[in-house]
Every structure is written in C-alpha cells, then in structure tokens.
Amino acid sequence: METPTTERKKVIFSAIQPSGTITLGNYLGALKNWISLQDEYRCIYALADLHTITVRQEPANFRRNTLEAYALLLACGIDVQKSPFFIQSQVCTHAQLAWILNCYTQFGELQRMTQFKDKAAKHADNVNAGLFTYPSLMAADILLYQTDLVPVGEDQKQHLELARNIAERFNGIYSPTFTVPDAYIPKNGARVMSLQEPARKMSKSDENANAYVAVLDKPEDILRKFKRAVTDSEACVRRAEGKDGINNLMSIYACVTGLTDEQIEKEFEGKGYGDFKTAVAEAVIEHLRPIQARFADFIKNKDYLEQCYTDGAQKALAVSARTLNKVMKKVGFLPKAF
C-alpha cells in the first residue's frame, strides 16, 4: 500500500527595504500578510539593503535603520523557525546572480521601467547605474529561491513581469533552470492611502509627517494624525465613490478590527467624522501596542538579533547557492576552486 506523499509547499519570496520608517501602509499592505502566509507556504523573507544604496545613505543611520527594521519585522510576527529571514547584503549569491542576469536583460527592458524614470527624476543628481539595473537584482532575489509566488503591489508588477521574462529567456537559451514566478495577490491586502492626500498611497517619503502613520509612532502622535485626516463635507461614515478619505479610514479600521464595511457603517450610523477618526486611531493604537512592546524588547537584545540574521543568512545561502551553481555551470564558468 502506497503512503501518501506530502505535497510540496509553494515558495513565497518577499523583501522590503530598510530605508527608515516603516509605515502603517507597509504593515497593513504587506507585512501583516507576510505573517499569515507562514503556515500555508514556505516563506523566505529579506531586508533588501543592497537595493537601498541606489540612493545615498549616511552609514551610521543606514546600519541603525537596518537593525531596527529587522527587529521590527520580528516584532510584527516573522517566525525565524519557519521562515528564513535575512539581510540581503550578507548573502553573496544575490549580487553574483544579479551580475549574470544583467547580461540576460535587455537595455530597452530596463529603460521602460517606470520606477527608474520616477526615481531618476526624484534623484536627478545621482542617476547611477545601480538605479538603472535595480530590476535585475530584484529578479535575482526572486529567482535564487525557485520562487513560485511573489506578493506584489501595483508599483512592483512591472518588475515581476521582467523577472518572469528573464527566467523564460534563460530557460529557453539553456534548459529549465529557474521557476517562473507568479504574482500573489493577498486576499486581505489593504492599499493604505495618505491621510492628507487620500488619492495617493501612504509613503514614508512624504514631506508632510501628518500624511503617514509609522508603526513605531507614539499613541498621542497616532491620535493627532488621524484627527487631522482629510475627509469630506458629508459627515456620513459610508463607502462611496468620491469619498477617498473616508474610504481609506474605513479600510484601515476594517484591517485592524476585522469588521466589514456594513458593520462599520452600522456602528457609526448617526455619528460624525470626529467620533470615527478617534475610533480608527484608538483601534490602530491598540493593534500596534504589542508590536511596539516586542520591538522594544528585541532592539535591546542585539546578540539575539545577530543570531537570528546570521542563521537566516546561512539558510538563505544554502538554498540560493544551489541555484547559482546550476546557473554558472550552464553559462560555462569553470567550477569553483574552493
């Protein structure tokens, strides 16, 4: 009698840059889903610090931001026993495969990347080659782990499509080498918008500090920012076209409470926007409170953090080296001497 085999879990890879503030938008739109995916999938997570230096960084701040981002993602719920979680620059295979993939990426493909155009305009004094070839490094990040699924937002779909094209091109020239990844669209993903310009996505680079909430903001700051959130003149809590501010607040409230739109509308029937803004702020504060407490504990324990990211790097290297060695052999490089 045959023993039923255990079905292989699909691999999910995702990374975030440690370039400073992690916002409520980052958390509700991506990180909260990272945590829930860990039981169903084989998840591999990274801090993409190599990507961060396409924009000049002050070294001491960069080191601090990287360590704090690592501690914060652990506090959000990444389980390092289930999911390798590493710092990209500590796993040399990423830079090695990125160079090889540069040679299988067409100049015209990179020229069409809208993020390159946007960032080049924003950082006109430093339009470096890394900013241009950034998508090849992102493709290497993904393809190294034979990734099946990549959680992506609207702004990253183009990069994932390029990674698919590169994988298919390489596989076609040689033989099947890379898994061609698909986009993973989270069931409960929230697109969190600016509190001051609710037609725009919440961003940590916003010059108006009232436009975004940081995961580590103090309760009084969170309350103040939500009270100042832009809404409309209708003073009725309901989701509707043209009510961008209220739609955004309802999405945030739904994410942190689990309530449906109908339940939210019923709860605030006959109440004004002031009551609703305060309730959203208080719900966010309570949701973030245990994360902030865990972060405070982790950031004081540097030895534990170092142990976690070292273990994560070793696990990531063991997996990614298999892919890199296969690629190098197919391209025609001599075997490594050591």
204 in catalytic set:
yes
Tokens standing for residue 102: 């540069």
Report the distance separating Cα 36 and Cα 184, nearest Å: 13
Which helix H or strand E contains 309, and what residues bound it?
helix 302-331
- Residue 201 appears among annotated catalytic residues: yes
Rounded distance between C-alpha atoms, residue 241 and residue 57, angstroms? 41
289: burial class by Cβ within 10 Å (0-12, 13-18, 19+)? exposed
| Strands ordered across the beta sheet of 11-16 | 85-87, 42-47, 11-16, 149-151, 182-184
Residues 6 or more apart in contact with residue 165 via CB below 8 angstroms = 109
Q: What is the CA radius of gyration of the chain?
A: 22
Q: Out of 82, 122, 157, 201, pick the active-site residue.
A: 201
Q: In terms of Cα–Cα distance, which of 32, 204, 284, 211 is closest to 276?
A: 284
Of the residues 10, 82, 119, 315, only one is catalytic, namely: 119
* Residue 217, number of CB atoms within 10 A of its CB: 21
Residue of 204, 315, 326, 330 marked catalytic: 204
Would you please indicate which residues are annotated as catalytic (active-site) residues? Answer: 119, 201, 204
